[in-house]
Amino acid sequence: MTAHEAMSATADSTPLCVIVRVTERPVPLDEIYREYAPPLRSLDREVEFVFAMEPWARGLAPPVEALAEAGEPLRVMEVTRGLGEANLLRHAATRSRGDIVLTLPAYHRVEAAALPALVREIDAGADLAVACRRPRTDGWLSRFQSRVFNAILRRLVGHTTSDVACGVEAMRRSVIEETPLYGDFFRFLPVLAVRAGFKVTEVDAPQHARDARTRVYRPGTYVRRLIDILGLFFLVRFTEKPLRFFGLVGGTLSIGGGGLLAVLFVQRVFGGVALADRPILLVAIIALTLGVQAIALGLIGEMIVHLHATPMRRYRVFEADEES
């Protein structure tokens, strides 16, 4: 993978790296920079902006490249293929040197004035500070969708924040380095970070006026979100114990099917009831078959987890004493 880079002279030494993910419905990038950079300058640290973009967004780069040439501390990082938000963030972060990473989408989510508070949360000891659009000024339908999405997530996964979709977050570099993040799971970074043992906090950030219009997505988008939540639910609850999930499903089906078969067998042997014209026999065998298949998948999962158990450190030490 190659990256096109245009950076300012001082950028590599900056301790705060702002990564703008240029992946969907971007606004002109120089607008983003001009709006979000000034409040961050109030922080007592150098700030570097990195515009991480997928190849299709190449046409958006010239205005910010012009700013970089004019001496603004920013650079454009273009990847050669679509990586998705999670990998784009990781790619950009590993090629930047800020101790703290602030990431935002290439469109307006929250008011710029709210960003310094996120960084201050990290300075105060949090590992990941997540912006939550509060107060929200968008229509009831958008708020309703968001509330339902977050409620389902909280119900199934447990630890989460109140506005998972916001996507404006500040974090220590270690969060990106140590949290398993890939594919479409970027929006679930707070959930995964808590699971990885990081301290996650929420910061209220007023919703940006340009984020306030009501959005209704295509049905496929809602289906994908639900599938994402299902995947996350499984990963959070059963990554280390897949048999508890597959075994529950498979065991229920197997016991149901097996019980039914036992009844049919008793009726056949002791009651002389013929089996060959009873479709219930097929129902019993289908249930048993599906149950055994589910258990077999669970066992495969357990075997893979067990094989990889020894070399993996599955915990994060928050604090340890000095070795005596």
By C-alpha distance, which of 170, 174, 194 is closest to 117? 170
Residue 273 in the binding site for another protein (CB under 8 A)? no
> Which element (helix H / strand E) includes 316?
none
Which range, of 3-11, 21-29, 70-78, 307-315, touches another protein by CB under 8 A?
Answer: 307-315
Residue 42 in the binding site for another protein (CB under 8 A)? no
Residue 170 CA to chain centroid, in angstroms? 14
Question: Contact letters (x/-) for another protein, 189-208, by CB under 8 A?
Answer: -----x-xxxx---------
Q: Where are the alpha helices (DSSP H) in 95-139?
A: 115-123
> What tokens appear for 246 in the block?
């597959």
Nearest approach, Cβ of residue 33 and another protein (Å): 35
Residue (107 or 198) nearer to another protein, CB: 198
Residue 237 in the binding site for another protein (CB under 8 A)? no
Residue 249 in the binding site for another protein (CB under 8 A)? no
d(CA 56, CA 60): 9
Q: Which of 209, 223, 226, 275 binds another protein (CB under 8 A)?
A: 275
Q: Where are the alpha helices (DSSP H) in 42-162?
A: 61-69, 84-94, 115-123, 140-157
Quote the Cα angle for 196-105-137, to 5°: 100
Looking at residue 36, its amino acid is Y
Contacts of 309 (CB under 8 A, 6+ apart): none
- 314, HSE (Cβ side, Cα atoms, 13 Å): 8
Residue 25 in the binding site for another protein (CB under 8 A)? no
Quote the Cα angle for 85-86-88, to 5°: 65
Q: Which of 70, 124, 269, 276 binds another protein (CB under 8 A)?
A: 276
Which range, of 43-51, 100-108, 210-218, 281-289, touches another protein by CB under 8 A?
Answer: 281-289
Which range, of 16-24, 167-175, 210-218, 236-244, touches another protein by CB under 8 A?
Answer: 236-244
Residue 307 in the binding site for another protein (CB under 8 A)? yes
Would you tell me which residues interact with another protein (CB under 8 A)? 194, 196-199, 240-241, 243-244, 247-248, 275-279, 281-282, 285-286, 289, 292-293, 296-300, 302-321, 323-324
